[in-house]
Amino acid sequence: MSVLRLVSVVGARPQFVKLAPIVRVAGQRGDVDHRILHTGQHYDSAMSDVFFEDLKMPAPDADLGIGSGSHGEQTAAMLVALEKTFSGERPDAVLVYGDTNSTLAATLAATKIHVPVAHIEAGLRSFNRKMPEEINRLVADHCSDRLYAPTPVAVANLEDENLGERTVRSGDVMRDAVNFNIEQARRSSTILDDLALEQAAFSLVTVHRPANTDGANLELLLDRLEESSRRHLPMVFPVHPRTRAMLEKMGYQPPPTLRLTEPMPYLDNLQLLDNARYVVTDSGGVQKEAAFLETPCFTARNETEWTETLDIGVNRIVHDGASGLLAAIEEFMVSPVEFGADVHRQIDESYGRGDAANRIVDDCVEWLS
């Protein structure tokens, strides 16, 4: 039996979560040799190692140790190192995930030397080209040979760009990850006790997008979060390193109702999301995890790639520095979102039921042989 050699390239926190279901499924097969290559984009233990531990993944087979830099510096350093690795190893295919600079670099490095590329979480669009992630997605989708689209909306976006023939609707690997890990999180996470939190008596907030953290926007956003944490429910705010750097520069002192913490490990984050009354976020992944865990979401951005969550009614956009946040939360307090059977059906129809990794690995084997 011939063995298919697949290399997954990851580098940033959300990619470790998307990788885990693929590692598990590929590891159960005798016909796939799956390796993990870490670019080193996220290097802090709390942003990287902890995720490999929580998600029970083996350490990466290789770590390029690239680290931070401007977009050009970071991507260029990755390109040089990845081209060398792929030229030496010549895997049967490279798997890339999501929309980070690691995704962009791996896609370009592999396609240029004719190593096939499969893009997991293809077809997402914010239609906002000011986001670095949007550029990364466009390049990754147009250069990849196989496109695993998580939702019908993603499939339609790819068809609109004449990429339908390479597209496979796979469902969302983040759903696989939540389904597989939520019971473990409920059993083993001590984060509620550690932070003295009671179920549904707090809200959660995460902020890391440049549009929110850079410039005057962060001050505006913090004002609204502070006000909400006083008027509505106290907030727990695990702080991303980019945001932490900005807060330190400002000399920010939060009020007691807005509790800043280190970035959360995966299982603790699931436990917080599962128990929060609602979440305020600018993360893509958290919007979906919230929907899967029946937690209403307020998205502090001007648009979202995950438009299904808006249509289903479990997510609301609060524009420009969360300008409508206070009013949106007050409205929600009066008539909360019901996670009834109809909502569950729509979530399943959009994101699948948690078998995306199986579909992807099965399809890879068929496609490449």
Neighbour count for residue 203 (Cβ, 10 Å): 24
Q: By the criterion CB under 6 A, which residues form the site for ligand UD1?
A: 12-14, 41-44, 47, 68, 99-101, 132-133, 208, 240-242
Considering the complex, state which of residue 17 and residue 317 has its C-beta at the smaller distance from ligand UD1.
17
Q: Which residue has the tokens 């603790």?
A: 268
Which of 14, 157, 36 shows the shortest CA–CA distance to 97? 14
Considering the complex, state which of residue 101 and residue 107 has its C-beta at the smaller distance from ligand UD1.
101
Q: Distance (Å, rounded) from C-alpha 330 to C-alpha 333?
A: 5
Helix (H, G, I), strand (E, B) or coil at 131: coil
Minimum separation from the CB atom of position 97 to ligand UD1 (A) = 11
Minimum separation from the CB atom of position 100 to ligand UD1 (A) = 3
Q: Which residue has the tokens 């049967």?
A: 92
- Could you tell me the two tokens for 127? 């239609």
What DSSP string runs through 269-303? HHHHHHH-S-EEE--HHHHHHHHHTT--EEE-SS-
Minimum separation from the CB atom of position 340 to ligand UD1 (A) = 31
- Residue 332's H or E segment, with its range, is helix 325-334
Q: Which of 34, 38, 119, 208 is catalytic?
A: 208
Name the burial class of residue 340, with classes exposed (0-12), middle (13-18) and buried (19+) by CB atoms within 10 angstroms of its CB: exposed
Considering the complex, state which of residue 43 and residue 367 has its C-beta at the smaller distance from ligand UD1.
43
- Cβ contact 256:229 at 8 Å: no
Considering the complex, state which of residue 48 and residue 181 has its C-beta at the smaller distance from ligand UD1.
48
Minimum separation from the CB atom of position 257 to ligand UD1 (A) = 25
Residues 6+ apart with CB under 8 A from 292: 174, 175, 178, 179, 347, 351
Which of 123, 80, 102, 108 shows the shortest CA–CA distance to 10? 102
Minimum separation from the CB atom of position 104 to ligand UD1 (A) = 8
CA distances from 16 to 45, 211, 231 (A): 13, 24, 36
Which of 82, 161, 174 shows the shortest CA–CA distance to 121? 174
Minimum separation from the CB atom of position 358 to ligand UD1 (A) = 26
Q: Is 208 a catalytic residue?
A: yes
Minimum separation from the CB atom of position 14 to ligand UD1 (A) = 5
Considering the complex, state which of residue 241 and residue 324 has its C-beta at the smaller distance from ligand UD1.
241
Neighbour count for residue 182 (Cβ, 10 Å): 18
- Cβ contact 146:330 at 8 Å: no
Considering the complex, state which of residue 99 and residue 172 has its C-beta at the smaller distance from ligand UD1.
99
Q: What residues are annotated to the active site?
A: 208
